[in-house]
Amino acid sequence: MADKPVLFKITNLKQHFPLKKKGLYVKANDGINLDIYDGEVLGLVGESGCGKSTLGRTLLRLYDPTDGKIMYYGRLLTDFAPNYMEDTVKRLPHYKERMLAANKALDQKQAEVDKLTTEEQYKHAEELTELKRKAHSATLDIANIIGGLASLKDLEPVSRVYEKLYQASKLKRSLVLEQRDERVALNDSRYQLENENKDTPAVREQIRTRETALKDLETKIASADSGISAVQQEIEQLRAPHLEDEAFKALDAHWDTGVDLSRLTYDEMRTLRVDMQLIFQDPYSSLNPRMTVGQIISEGMKAHKLFKRQDDQVKESVLKVMDNCGLAPYFLHRYPHQFSGGQRQRIGIARALALHPKFVVCDEAVSALDVSIQSQIINLLQDLKEQENLTYLFITHDLAVVKYISDRIAVMYLGVIVELANTQEIFSCPMHPYTEALLSAIPTADENVKRELVVLEGDIPSPVNSPKGCKFHTRCKYATEICTMVEPEFIEVTPNHFVACHHRLGSVCETEFVASQQGADTAS
Ligand code: SF4
């Protein structure tokens, strides 16, 4: 996967829902770090209530995240010019102060803890982890936008040049939106001319005016692009003299041209929603019973102004997406109650794909279907992924289902990801005790596959009062004292295999990897 570009970079994402009783929160997502690559299928697995669906919905900003970052690389910061870009640049000194204060607090605590015995250090582990998270997040806020330039004493020239970049980017964004509206209006006029017998001088004149306006807009967009490039060159000139500086390099590593979804306004997010869609679990309740299939599928196209009205172009697009999803054209005017579960799910998929998104969250998309229909829908999703170059987050509680569609699998427990690796490796070399237990519960008819059943004792603990240290320690047969006090770090054990466990399972893959590294060292 590492050869593919990253589409989402999620850092310390938290989603805490407040309860009526003051000060209590349901910690549905509690510090998630995850990269999703362009064009991959990432399976997200865990028991009910572990926070999988919340993560999918928070990524789409259907919920506002409590904390953390969701960087999206489907659009660039300079194409999108969100308001937070201007806000950060205007408040640079404030952001810098916050970054310095957070890092100072961390350094002081670390120095205190270093003097203690190992036993005593355990007691401060939680506080230290929180300070590390705060310092990291404060650093990201400023360094994402201006990178190493945040280390300079005089931020005034930086602020000035980034203000120019924001203005040029904002202008480009408004021109692109104007261009979209003008295109829709031009298509509408052409439709009137060709199909509504409105071949009048007024309509012809309207078409000519719109064509000229579109050409003007193209020229203006090209000029905004060169404006952006010129400012970027100015930024490079500011950057160049400091490239050897260590502090500069450390901050520059966080410089990022992606868009932080967690900081977008409602309207900004609405514009981006075209890129990101959701397929729901329940094909019965997710379709409006008063709307026909055609209306359901075309609703998003009209809401996002891809077409001006209900005309042949809309119908053509709807029929095309229906065909891609295996729905016959004569279903167009039928209502959801006239279909089976599998067909309804195809309608839900067609609705999600009508806007040609880049990223789709499939939230238990096959769990409510019969097993025979599940494989049809999984095959359909796989075909559509190839055709449309989609990226899926495939959420399910069933490892057997996710095995057939996912490139990588992330295992989630009580709001955190405990293991992440490619699919084949999760099945052959699980390193987290929870993954081991989930795998052992998959029924198999293959006599050659012999797995000892690992029974998980007790229920999943409450996300309101989750256990200290490793959240899994109350149910883990390998737990020791350190597990009850220190939260394990999520680390890369072998290339692209991440796990959060103090006593990860001795796996063949890890041993083989270490041996191969030693062999390579000896050879060199
Ligand atoms: S850290 Fe400890 S409790 Fe948690 S999974 Fe690993 S062994 Fe079990």
Q: Which domains does the chain have, with CATH numbers?
A: 6-75+267-409 (3.40.50.300), 84-257 (no CATH), 415-523 (no CATH)
Given this model, what pLDDT does residue 142 score? 84
pTM: 0.87
Q: Which region, left, alpha or beta, applies to residue 396 given φ > 0 means left and ψ of -120 to 50 means alpha?
A: beta
Residue type, 473: H
Position of tokens 């500011």? Answer: 238
- State the DSSP code for 149: G
Q: Is the minimum distance from the CB of 505 to ligand 1 under 6 angstroms?
A: no
Residue type, 15: Q
Q: To test the ligand 1 pocket, which listed residue (502, 504, 507) has its Cβ within 8 A of the most ligand atoms?
A: 502
Residue 330 tokens, joined:
């004569």
* Closest atom of ligand 1 to CA, residue 473: 3
Q: Is the minimum distance from the CB of 469 to ligand 1 under 6 angstroms?
A: no
* CA–CA distance, 362 with 154 (Å, rounded to integer): 48
* Closest atom of ligand 1 to CA, residue 484: 3
CA of 510 to the centre of ligand 1 (A): 17
Q: Is the minimum distance from the CB of 488 to ligand 1 under 6 angstroms?
A: yes
Residues with Cβ < 8 Å from 366, sequence gap 6 or more? Answer: 345, 373, 374, 377, 378, 396, 401
* CA–CA distance, 471 with 412 (Å, rounded to integer): 11
* Closest atom of ligand 1 to CA, residue 504: 6
Per-residue pLDDT of the chain (524 residues; tens, 9 = 90+): 667 899 999 998 999 999 987 788 999 999 999 999 999 999 999 988 899 999 999 999 999 999 888 999 999 888 889 999 988 888 888 888 888 898 899 999 999 988 888 878 888 888 888 888 888 877 877 888 899 998 888 889 999 999 999 999 999 999 998 998 888 888 878 877 777 666 778 878 888 998 999 999 999 999 999 999 999 999 999 999 998 999 899 889 888 889 999 999 999 999 899 999 999 888 788 899 999 999 999 998 888 888 766 567 788 889 999 999 999 999 999 999 999 988 999 999 999 999 999 999 999 888 878 888 888 899 999 999 999 999 999 999 888 888 889 999 999 999 999 999 999 999 989 999 999 999 888 777 666 656 667 777 777 888 898 898 999 999 998 999 999 989 999 999 999 999 999 999 876 667 766 777 777 666 65
CB 438 within 8 A of CB 399: yes
* Closest atom of ligand 1 to CA, residue 418: 5
Given this model, what pLDDT does residue 118 score? 81
Strand order in the sheet with 259-260: 25-37, 6-18, 67-72, 259-260
> Rounded to the nearest 10 degrees, how much is the dihedral formed by the CA atoms of 348, 353, 354, 357?
140
Nearest CA to ligand 1 atom 3: 473
HSE-up of 357 (CA within 13 Å, CB side)?
27
Q: To test the ligand 1 pocket, which listed residue (412, 414, 468, 470) has its Cβ within 8 A of the most ligand atoms?
A: 470
CB 73 within 8 A of CB 5: yes
CB 271 within 8 A of CB 176: no
Given this model, what pLDDT does residue 239 score? 92
CA of 485 to the centre of ligand 1 (A): 11
Given this model, what pLDDT does residue 196 score? 65
* Closest atom of ligand 1 to CA, residue 488: 1
If DSSP codes are grouped into helix, strand and coil, which group holds residue 41? strand
CA of 473 to the centre of ligand 1 (A): 6
Q: Is the minimum distance from the CB of 294 to ligand 1 under 6 angstroms?
A: no
Strand order in the sheet with 491-494: 276-279, 359-363, 391-396, 41-45, 408-413, 416-422, 497-499, 491-494
Strands 497-499, 491-494: pairing kind: antiparallel
- State the DSSP code for 488: P
Given this model, what pLDDT does residue 41 score? 96
* Closest atom of ligand 1 to CA, residue 471: 4
DSSP string, 223-240: HHHHHHHHHHHHHHHHHG
Q: Is the minimum distance from the CB of 438 to ligand 1 under 6 angstroms?
A: no
CA of 113 to the centre of ligand 1 (A): 23
* Closest atom of ligand 1 to CA, residue 503: 7
Q: Is the minimum distance from the CB of 190 to ligand 1 under 6 angstroms?
A: no
Given this model, what pLDDT does residue 339 score? 92
Given this model, what pLDDT does residue 520 score? 66
| C-alpha distance from residue 500 to each of 267, 344, 455, 487 (Å) | 37, 39, 20, 8
Q: Is the minimum distance from the CB of 472 to ligand 1 under 6 angstroms?
A: yes
Buried b / exposed e across 471-493, counting CB within 10 Å, b at 16+? bbbbbbeebeebbebbbbebeeb
CA of 418 to the centre of ligand 1 (A): 10
Given this model, what pLDDT does residue 474 score? 92
CA of 433 to the centre of ligand 1 (A): 7
DSSP string, 82-142: -HHHHHHHHTHHHHHHHHHHHHHHHHHHHHHHHTS-HHHHHHHHHHHHHHHHHHHHHHHHH
Residue type, 492: E
* Closest atom of ligand 1 to CA, residue 476: 8
